[in-house]
Amino acid sequence: MADASKRVCLVVPCYNEADRLNIGEYRRFSGGIHFLFVNDGSSDATGELLEKEATGFASVLSLEKNSGKAEAVRMGMMHLKTMPVFEEIEFAGFWDADLATPLEELDGMLKFTDGICPAADAVFGSRIYRLGSVIQRSRTRHLISRIFCFLFRTLYGIETYDSQCGAKIFRKNVLEKAFAEPFISRWIFDVEIILRLKGSILVEYPVSRWADIKGSKVMKLNNIIVISRDVFRLWKKYV
Ligand X SMILES: Nc1nc2c(ncn2[C@@H]2O[C@H](COP(=O)(O)OP(=O)(O)OP(=O)(O)O)[C@@H](O)[C@H]2O)c(=O)[nH]1
Positions touching Mg ion (CB under 5 A) are: 98, 100, 216
Q: Counting contacts by CB under 6 A, is residue 17 touching ligand X? A: yes
Q: Counting contacts by CB under 6 A, is residue 42 touching ligand X? A: no
Task: Return the number of the residue (139 or 236) whose C-beta is nearest ligand X.
Answer: 139
Task: Return the number of the residue (31 or 215) whose C-beta is nearest Mg ion.
Answer: 215
- Stretch in the footprint of ligand X (CB under 6 A) among 2-10, 104-112, 171-179, 217-225: 217-225
Picked from Mg ion, ligand X, none, the partner binding residue 15 (CB below 5 to 8 A depending on kind) is ligand X
| Distance of closest approach, residue 40 Cβ to ligand X, in angstroms | 3
Q: How many C-beta atoms lie closer than 10 Å to residue 214's C-beta?
A: 8
Q: Counting contacts by CB under 6 A, is residue 164 touching ligand X? A: yes
CA 41 to chain CA centroid, Å, is 18
Give every CB contact of residue 10 below 8 A, 6+ residues apart in sequence. 33, 34, 35, 36, 92, 93, 94, 95, 106, 169
Q: Reduce the secondary structure of 77-139 to three states and give it as a string.
A: HHHHCCCCHHHHCCEEEEECCCCCCCCHHHHHHHHHHHHCCCCCCEEEEECCCCCCCEEECCH
From candidates 7, 13, 50, 187, binder to ligand X by CB under 6 A: 13
Q: State the residues that interact with ligand X by CB under 6 A.
A: 13-15, 17, 40, 66, 68-69, 72, 96-98, 100, 164, 166, 216-219
